[in-house]
């Protein structure tokens, strides 16, 4: 048994149960990985297959897929090709777009608790650390790739991460493996290729153990990043409000610098919202520290708005605008509100829809200013503005609550939160209740 296969067998002992799938590009690295795994009785017993992603970016992509199918057939490994379309206009660069498309396709094709094996090695890890350092990454980014992590419905496994590429080359030559050479790997306009072909060889002239040193540094940063993540989870649990999409602003500002960014990212990730960059985190911190208590700071980036109200930061997706002067005649049936604000309906005690007679047709619109409502059991009319403020309704939500008016212009209800005196009488006559369902 080769030394590389022996190390692979040792890696398998710490791997959770589950079938293994090789992300097989046909290049040298993944060819060595497939060869080692296919030679393992334990892997065969677990279940082994290979997936090749055809990005359709090169004239020879079909020939590459055919090569991969041939290798798998000769090794008696079940094989599947996944076709993807790469978004060239996304703005993140072709390499990143291709990676995202590849990962999305693999995750979709994975089975529950399946382990997807990637062929990244120690040299790849060194390149990743250096790339992220040049991009200003924090501890999590500098920790680079994990050898094992959650991935889609299963796990991503990188068993070669501690092995230098020259050992993979030696293994491939010893066993006379066939592999493909992607000509795009020589394109030094791509950052990673520039580092691999020009920058790292120059650095190795002065520091021969560069890859090993970077790999060791990544391990230290992984330990630090994991510790920060653990502390962030503890801090987030303390700072989160009753509403999961709210975070205590003063508590967040009081966190140590090493935790503030991580807590914010963990919070947004739990809400399914995209994370900020360092500039956006700094801008949020600046606005929160400098804005007066009566101000409403807001920081935005694509897919996210962070707003402060009183002592809370609120996270949300961007809110669609309500059409100017929108209003609608309403007979009590489910009314679809504009700007993704849900539906408004009158229902009976069984939850069945109620239709009002023509004489009781109502109007629904949104706040325009100056509205007043008389609540049940109170002789006076309240300014709607005062009710909203005293109840702590965030300012950005106040104009998005549907208001129900009688034909004579009297305000009967503010969504289903406040039902006025006359609104209560109307609902009682028809044995109905008002329901606002938000999406």
Question: Tokens representing 294?
Answer: 């009566």
Please list, in sequence order, all residues whose beta carbon lies within 8 angstroms of the beta carbon of residue 61, skipping any fewer than 6 positions away: 54, 55
pLDDT at 212: 84
Report the SS3 class of residue 354: coil
Q: What is the CATH number of domain 240-316?
A: 1.20.59.20
| Domain parsing of the chain, residue ranges | 3-215, 240-316, 327-437
Report the SS3 class of residue 363: strand
pLDDT at 92: 60
pLDDT at 1: 64
Burial of 265: CB neighbours in 10 Å, binned 0-12, 13-18, 19+: buried
The parts of the chain modelled with pLDDT lower than 70 are: 1, 89-92
* Stated pTM of the model: 0.70
Question: Tokens representing 238?
Answer: 């303390």
Instruction: Say what percent of the chain tops pLDDT 70.
Output: 98
| Closest among 400, 376, 397, 371 to 386, alpha carbons compared | 371
- 240-316 shares the fold of 3-215: no
Report d(CA 148, CA 115) in Å as an integer: 9
pLDDT at 49: 96
Question: Tokens representing 406?
Answer: 């009688």
Report d(CA 60, CA 57) in Å as an integer: 9
Superfamily of domain 3-215: HUPs (3.40.50.620)
Report d(CA 37, CA 49) in Å as an integer: 10
pLDDT at 282: 93
């Amino acid at each position: 048994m080769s030394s590389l296969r022996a190390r692979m067998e040792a890696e398998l002992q710490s791997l959770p149960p589950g079938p293994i799938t090789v992300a097989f590009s046909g290049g040298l690295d993944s060819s060595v990985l497939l060869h080692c795994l296919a030679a393992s009785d334990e892997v065969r017993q677990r279940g082994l297959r290979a997936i090749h992603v055809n990005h359709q970016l090169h004239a020879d992509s079909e020939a590459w897929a055919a090569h991969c199918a041939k290798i798998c057939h000769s090794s008696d490994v079940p094989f599947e090709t996944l076709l993807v379309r790469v978004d060239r206009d996304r703005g993140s660069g072709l390499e990143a777009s291709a990676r995202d498309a590849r990962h999305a396709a693999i995750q979709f094709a994975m089975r529950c608790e399946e382990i997807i094996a990637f062929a990244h090695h120690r040299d790849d890890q060194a390149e990743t650390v250096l790339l992220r350092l040049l991009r200003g990454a924090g501890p999590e980014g500098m920790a680079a790739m994990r050898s094992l992590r959650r991935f889609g419905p299963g796990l991503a496994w990188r068993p070669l991460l501690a092995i230098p590429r020259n050992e993979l080359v030696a293994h491939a030559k010893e066993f006379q493996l066939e592999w493909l050479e992607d000509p795009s790997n020589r394109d030094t306009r791509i950052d990673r290729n520039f580092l691999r072909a020009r920058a790292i060889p120059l650095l190795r002239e002065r520091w021969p153990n560069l890859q090993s040193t970077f790999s060791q540094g990544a391990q230290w940063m992984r330990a630090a990043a994991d510790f920060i993540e653990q502390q962030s989870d503890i801090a987030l649990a303390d700072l989160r409000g009753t509403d999961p999409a709210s975070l205590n602003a003063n508590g967040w500002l009081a966190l140590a610098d090493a935790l503030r960014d991580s807590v914010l990212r963990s919070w947004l990730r739990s809400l399914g919202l995209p994370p900020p960059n360092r500039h956006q985190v700094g801008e949020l911190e600046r606005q929160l520290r400098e804005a007066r208590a009566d101000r409403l700071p807001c920081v935005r980036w694509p897919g996210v708005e962070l707003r402060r109200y009183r002592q809370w930061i609120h996270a949300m997706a961007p809110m669609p605008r309500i059409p100017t002067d929108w209003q609608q005649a309403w007979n009590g049936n489910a009314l679809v509100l504009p700007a993704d604000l849900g539906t408004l309906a009158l229902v009976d005690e069984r939850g069945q829809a109620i239709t009002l007679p023509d004489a009781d047709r109502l109007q629904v619109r949104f706040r325009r200013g100056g509205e007043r409502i008389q609540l049940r059991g109170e002789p006076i009319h309240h300014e709607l503005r005062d009710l909203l403020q005293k109840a702590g309704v965030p300012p950005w939500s106040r104009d998005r609550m549907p208001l129900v008016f009688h034909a004579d212009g009297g305000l009967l209800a503010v969504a289903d939160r406040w039902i006025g005196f006359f609104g209560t009488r109307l609902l009682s006559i028809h044995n109905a209740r008002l329901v606002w369902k938000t999406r």
